[in-house]
Amino acid sequence: MGRDERKEREEKRENYASKRSFEKKRNTLITIGVVAVIAVIVGYSVFVFINMSHNAPGGPAGAGALGSEHSHAALLVKVFGDTFDFSSPTYQIKTSWIHFEGGDGTTVHKHAKGVKMGYLFNSLKLKLDDKCFVFQDGRQFCTNEDYTLNFYINGEKVNDIRNYEPMDNDRILIVYGAETPEEIQALLLQLDNQEIIKS
């Protein structure tokens, strides 16, 4: 009877030892699997982050990485002699790429290379093309036989500004009405004297 008990105890020990060994191996394999999955997730996240910095979701097509540039340009928009007010909260920081900020409605802040004026106006829900300026409420100011929509960049008349990338210290005028050349010169002088707020 003693030998049978001893043999039974030895078998139990062996079973217990093999069971523990199996559990250790299983736990080790589970740990390796979890670490491998985490490594894949981290690797993929780094890959996405690196590629995202070149063209982040929601950013304009062809733009550089956010923070690749920080430039400021003066903007003056006149419609029938009235200044369009970009200082209201409706027009402040609608995108990180290009915006008005700090309650100022005269300085355009651009935070990446390759960002164009058309993207600014789209972000503000304002429609702008070479013929029309359309407010958020639907009012349209389009070139016709009596009034014209004109664009000036650094004093030079241009046909359209949507594809123009503003540079540091640029001065951009958009004017709709029937201004005389003298009145345009007065507006350009006003724009030249407009402070560019750099922050």
Q: How confident is the prediction along the chain (199 residues), in pLDDT tens digits per residue?
A: 566 777 677 777 777 667 777 777 777 878 787 777 787 777 666 655 555 444 455 678 889 999 999 999 999 999 999 999 999 999 999 999 999 999 999 999 999 999 999 999 999 999 999 999 999 999 999 999 999 999 999 999 999 999 999 999 999 999 999 999 999 999 999 999 999 998 7
Cβ atoms of residues 32 and 24 within 8 Å: no
Q: Select from 39, 67, 44, 63 the least CA-distant residue to 117.
A: 63
Q: Select from 176, 87, 100, 173 the least CA-distant residue to 140.
A: 176
pLDDT of residue 54: 46
pLDDT of residue 5: 73
Count Cα atoms within 13 angstroms, Cβ side, for 65. Answer: 8
pLDDT of residue 17: 67
122-170: pLDDT as tens digits: 999 999 999 999 999 999 999 999 999 999 999 999 999 999 999 999 9
Phi, psi of 181, rounded to the nearest 5 degrees: -55, -35
pLDDT of residue 167: 96
Cβ atoms of residues 125 and 95 within 8 Å: no
pLDDT of residue 30: 81
Please tell me whether the overall predicted TM-score, pTM, comes out greater than 0.75 for this model.
Answer: no
Cβ atoms of residues 169 and 72 within 8 Å: yes
